[in-house]
């Protein structure tokens, strides 16, 4: 599973911070994001340089290390990232791409203002969003919902479309509602052509799951 393009120090930090996570932001999530981001990038740029692929894989592994949902001390985590030998060897331009991408790529960070990410970052963001879709996306939504004590579904709790971070994080919700509030809309936010295509297939799978869920609920 480990990407060919990532160095051991990066993998070790990701494992140390995310290894025991049970909210859907675990080590295998970031490993999938790194691998898929590299794969999507190579589809669009077959002659990509190894240094760009390394930057993309590194951002994939590190993108959730500073996330507010995973750590209470993001500043310390940033120091750890910038002190990694691999990151220290990046050019200043690549370090800036890493900083901007990781800071601005999350869904919540884009609710009130849309950030245009640097191109390598767009592939990491697409791979992260793809991991919230399809069979794995369904599993992650219920893992997250369980970890946050949300019910699986409750027909008396309405779907709420949030346009700001506070409502997004703190309104009353169910895991099923999350599909209607966010997951079914991710397809429209993909940056890249390859990402859009995969998102379409995975969204169709989730719609079929929701149809079956509602069918059984009302049976």
**Residue 147: Cβ within 10 Å count:** 14
- Residues that bind ligand ADP (rule: CB under 6 A) add up to a total of 17
From the DSSP assignment, how many helices (H) and strands (E) are in the chain?
A: 11, 0
**Residue 57: Cβ within 10 Å count:** 26
Using a 10 angstrom Cβ sphere, with 0-12 exposed, 13-18 middle and 19 or more buried, the burial of residue 141 is buried
Under rule CB under 6 A, residue 45 binds ligand ADP: no
Under rule CB under 5 A, residue 21 binds Ni ion: no
Q: Between residue 81 and residue 100, which ones bind Ni ion under the rule CB under 5 A?
A: none
Q: Least distance from C-beta 194 to ligand ADP, angstroms?
A: 19
- Interface pattern 8-27 for ligand ADP (x via CB under 6 A): ----------------x---
Q: Least distance from C-beta 217 to Ni ion, angstroms?
A: 29
| Cα angle, residue 13 at apex, residues 22 and 189 outer, rounded to 5° | 60
State the Cα–Cα distance between residues 184 and 208, nearest whole angstrom.
12
Query: Among 9-17, 94-102, 124-132, 197-205, which window interacts with Ni ion (CB under 5 A)?
Result: 124-132
Residues of the shown chain interacting with ligand ADP in the complex, contacts defined by CB under 6 A: 24, 69, 106-108, 128, 132, 137, 140-141, 144-145, 150, 173, 175, 178, 183
């Amino acid at each position: 599973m480990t990407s060919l393009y990532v160095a051991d120090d990066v993998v070790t930090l990701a494992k140390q911070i995310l290894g025991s996570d049970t909210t859907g932001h675990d080590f295998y999530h970031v490993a999938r994001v790194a691998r898929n981001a590299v794969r999507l990038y190579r589809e669009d740029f077959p002659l990509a340089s190894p240094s760009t692929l390394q930057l993309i894989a590194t951002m994939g592994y590190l993108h959730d290390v500073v996330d507010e949902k995973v750590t209470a001390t993001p500043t310390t985590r940033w120091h750890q990232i910038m002190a990694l030998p691999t990151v220290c060897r990046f050019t200043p331009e690549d370090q800036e791409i890493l900083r901007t991408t990781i800071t601005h790529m999350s869904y919540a960070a884009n609710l009130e203002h849309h950030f245009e990410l640097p191109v390598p970052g767009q592939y990491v963001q697409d791979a992260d969003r793809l991991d919230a879709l399809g069979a794995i996306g369904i599993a992650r939504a219920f893992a997250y919902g369980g970890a946050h004590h949300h019910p699986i579904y409750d027909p008396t709790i309405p779907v709420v479309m949030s346009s700001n971070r506070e409502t997004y994080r703190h309104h009353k919700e169910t895991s099923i509602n999350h599909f209607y509030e966010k997951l079914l809309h991710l397809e429209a936010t993909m940056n890249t052509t390859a990402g859009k295509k995969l998102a379409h297939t995975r969204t169709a799978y989730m719609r079929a799951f929701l149809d079956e869920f509602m069918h059984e609920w009302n049976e």
